[in-house]
Amino acid sequence: MQWLRLPCAPSCRPPFGPATHLQRTTPIPSTSRLLRPRSQELSRCTRSFASTSSRGARRPLSPPRLKPRSPWIFPGAVALLAGGLYVAYETYTPFRHTVLAVVRCSRVADAAIVSVLDYKMMFSRSYGSPEEEADAYSQCHTRSAKRVLKALLANGGIFIKLGQHMASLIMLPVEWTTTMRPLQDQCEPTSYEDLEGLFLTDMGKPISEIFDDFSLEPIGVASLAQVHVARDKESGRRVAVKLQHPHLAEFCDIDMEMVDVTLGWIKYWFPEFELTWLAEEMRTNLPKEMDFIHEANNARRAQEDFRDVKTSLYIPEVLVASKRVLVMEFIQGGRVDDLPYLSDNNIDRNSVALELSRIFNRMVFLNGFFHAVSSCPGNLLIRPSPPNSKSPYSFEIVLLDHGLYFDLTDDLRVNYAHLWLSLIAPASKDVNEARRKYAQLVGNIGPDLYPIFETAMTGRASLEGAGDDDEVTPQVSATKQGRASGVMDLSPPSEGEVDAIRNAVMNREGLLLDVLTVLRHLPRRVLMVLKLNDLTRQESTHLDHALMTTHSNIRIFVIMAKYCTYAVWREERQRLMNQFNKTGILSFTMLCKYFAEWWRFEKNYRKLVLVETMMDFKGRMVLLQAWLRGLYEAGGLEGAHKAAAGVA
């Protein structure tokens, strides 16, 4: 007897699968007894297919019960993820750079966004009085500057450089410049271990293999590098080792991109406040400052420019240079504003201040290759003249940090000299026309923006004939007689005058926009010349106060006028010589032109020499009076010397 065996085991194929088949088996004793279990088996099988079983359709299956999850699964996953991220941060450089870049960018973005919203809210309010409005502006400037300062300090590196640049711009609100001023000294040193790794990477040898007595503490720290003193093993010579901060290269591109984005975002929300030129300057100049080979070349070129000049300037010799390591001759000296140091070494304080002005005026007006970092005391040293010195004085001024120089074309250099000569000359119709003419040639500045440009040039109130609107300079009289005819007629600068200029820029409607327009129109080289001019003027004022110089406040303009006069004469002489070489004919007309230009130069130059001599004589008389007073009061030569040196 045969019986039917369906493939309905738990692992069997479904009823809609292949056809069933017959299989011969052992005889079945009792059909009814054996069919019952098979029907039950078939029932169990068909119940597993809810789509084909009517019983399954009538009674849906309940979902399976899930076991309760462990309370440690989520914390464990978080801990595992955090551990993985930490390991990746410590071991995988691209990931670490990405994280740090996001953090650095978020700091800048946070400060920029909150400050923009703060300014938006301030501008949208109405105020009951001008005093209330000015106070609201001042508070907003202070809040925003502090936010930005916090972000710059946290990021460090090129952001410190950006803040230092902001601190030196006279046209920014005083709240911004004073808030950013601490960045001049807020530079954290890099650890010796990190510097050792950088030195090994760049030079191929450890520090200990090349130098003895390498100072662990730097003698100077700046935003891009720091300087250590060491002794060269081969020569036994003391050297200054300048090492770049290792982390700068990691984030340089990202930081510059972030500055671009931030300033572009500010321009989007405030189209009139376009500061993208600042980002362009950083993108152009920062790679130069970070390349110490470029700095070494700048130092050598500056040495060549002053090689045949009888000057007090001394530039240390460059011994070794790589992209991030610079080894130079070590110079022992003091700060140029250290009055006791000058007194102890019998250095005349008046001569120091005037010689600094001569050095930087020669760079701009004659060499056309100028040091753009500025003449601030931190970049300068002074020392007594060594026996083989070519200095005409008893001292040498050592110029440090040659990372950034700019060159000027001959046309720009000579036109800039013409512009300053017109500003120095007494006002007249021809002089006023010349001022506007050369402002257009030098700075691409039209008559409408000329008063702003003139104030930026001189750092003072507008001169006579600058414009009809005297509200630009509220600190001077509204009458024509209240203005100086030229810079030689200016009285000593005061803090009140500088504050008045800044307040006028920030509070007079439309004037700040005019300032920003001037900055946009200026060629980049001219902008850097103005920055150098502004910093040099500020440092000259600082030195005059720190050294208590006895010469007139306009003495530096006499020096400038001499260099400008010589630059114009030299260019005119060269033009006539080129004309003669081209034609090969020395005509009577050409000869007359040559002697006419020579006579004009000699007449103007000798006048300036006479004025200079009279000013210096007056300054020496003041020193002599101080010496005699010290001799009388202190009763000895030592007291007289201290009184004349300004330390008594």
User: Taken in order 225, 231, 237, 238, is the CA torsion positive or negative?
Assistant: positive
Structure tokens given for 36: 């019952």
Contact 486, 463 (CB under 8 A): yes
Q: What angle do CA 557, 559, 561 make, to 5 degrees?
A: 70
Pairing of strands 225-232, 238-244: antiparallel
Same domain, 98 and 126: yes
Domain end position, chosen among 259, 288, 317? 288
Nearest residue to 188 via CA among 138, 143, 233, 245: 245
* 216 bridge partner residues: none
Are residues 124 and 219 both part of a single domain? yes
Tokens of 230: 């060491």
Residues 91-101, buried b or exposed e (16+ Cβ, 10 A)?
eeeeeeeeebb
pLDDT < 50 regions, the chain: 1-57, 375, 468-481, 509
Tokens of 316: 């240390």
Cβ neighbours around 13 below 10 Å, total: 11
Domains of the chain: total? 4
Whether residues 34 and 106 fall in one domain: no
Angstrom CA distances, 334 to 177, 226, 487, 545, 629, stand at: 27, 18, 32, 18, 28
CA distances from 498 to 141, 490, 503 (A): 18, 14, 9
* Token pair recorded at residue 166: 């902001």
Which neighbouring-strand residues pair with 327?
241, 320
The reply to whether 614 falls in a domain is yes
Rounded to the nearest 5°, which phi and psi values hold at 43? Answer: -60, -45
Residue 202 included in any domain: yes
Question: Are 246 and 394 contained in the same domain?
Answer: no
Residue 590 CA, distance from chain mean position: 49
Query: Is position 387 within any domain?
Result: yes
With DSSP H G I counted as helix, E B as strand and the rest as coil, what are the percentages for the chain, rounded to 5? 60, 5, 30
Note the pLDDT tens digit of each residue in 148-185. Answer: 999 988 887 778 878 877 776 666 777 888 898 888 76
Residue with tokens 């001019």: 533
Backbone phi, psi, residue 241, to 5°: -110, 115
135 plus 211 within the same structural domain = yes
Which helix (H) or strand (E) covers residue 244, if one does?
A: strand 238-244
The per-residue pLDDT for 159 is 83
Tokens representing 422?
A: 């017109």
* pLDDT value of position 383: 96
* Separation between Cα atoms, residue 102 and residue 347, nearest integer Å: 53
Residues 574 and 510 in one domain: yes
Residue 423: closest CA among 467, 457, 446, 456 = 457
Query: Taking each helix axis from N to C terminus, what angle separates 555-583 and 410-424, rounded to the nearest 10 degrees?
Result: 140
Residue the block writes with tokens 């240390």: 316
Task: Tell me, yes or no, whether 355 and 445 share the same domain.
Answer: no
Report whether 318 contacts 326 (CB < 8 A): yes
Q: Are residues 282 and 344 in the same domain?
A: no
33: left (phi over 0), alpha (psi -120 to 50) or beta: alpha
> Are 152 and 257 in the same domain?
yes
Amino acid letter for position 614? M
CA of residue 154 relative to chain centroid, distance? 16
Residue 220's beta-bridge partner residues?
227
- Is residue 9 included in any domain, yes or no? yes
C-alpha–C-alpha distance, residues 494 and 502, integer Å:
13
Under 8 Å between Cβ of 445 and 589: no
| 396 and 351 share one domain | yes
**Are the beta carbons of 168 and 531 closer than 8 angstroms?**
yes
Q: Which helix (H) or strand (E) holds 88?
A: helix 73-91
Looking at the domain assignment, is residue 73 inside a domain?
Answer: no
Q: Evaluate whether residue 554 is within a structural domain.
A: yes
The range of the structural domain enclosing residue 223 comes to 92-288
Domain match, 216 and 310 both:
no
| In-domain check, residue 37 | yes
CB 162 within 8 A of CB 263: no
| Spatial contact of 282 and 309, defined as CB atoms under 8 Å apart | no
Final residue in a domain of this structure, among 288, 309, 343? 288
Which of 407, 434, 455 represents a domain boundary (last residue)? Answer: 407
pTM: 0.77
Residue 321 Cα distances to 241, 326, 525, 615, angstroms: 10, 5, 27, 44
Q: Determine how many CB atoms are found less than 10 A away from the CB of residue 338.
A: 18
If residue 596 lies in a helix (H) or strand (E), which one and from where to where? Answer: helix 588-634
Q: CA-CA distance, 648 to 638, in Å (whole number)?
A: 10
Q: Residue 45: inside a domain, yes or no?
A: yes
* Whole-angstrom distance, CA of residue 294 vs CA of residue 307: 20
Instruction: Report pLDDT for 123.
Output: 81
Residues 500 and 563 in one domain: yes
Contact between residue 380 and residue 342 where contact means Cβ atoms under 8 Å apart: no
**Residues, the chain:** 648
Helix (H) / strand (E) element for 371: namely strand 369-371
Alpha helices in 444-523 (DSSP H): 450-458, 495-507, 511-521
Cα 569 from Cα 604, distance rounded (Å): 11
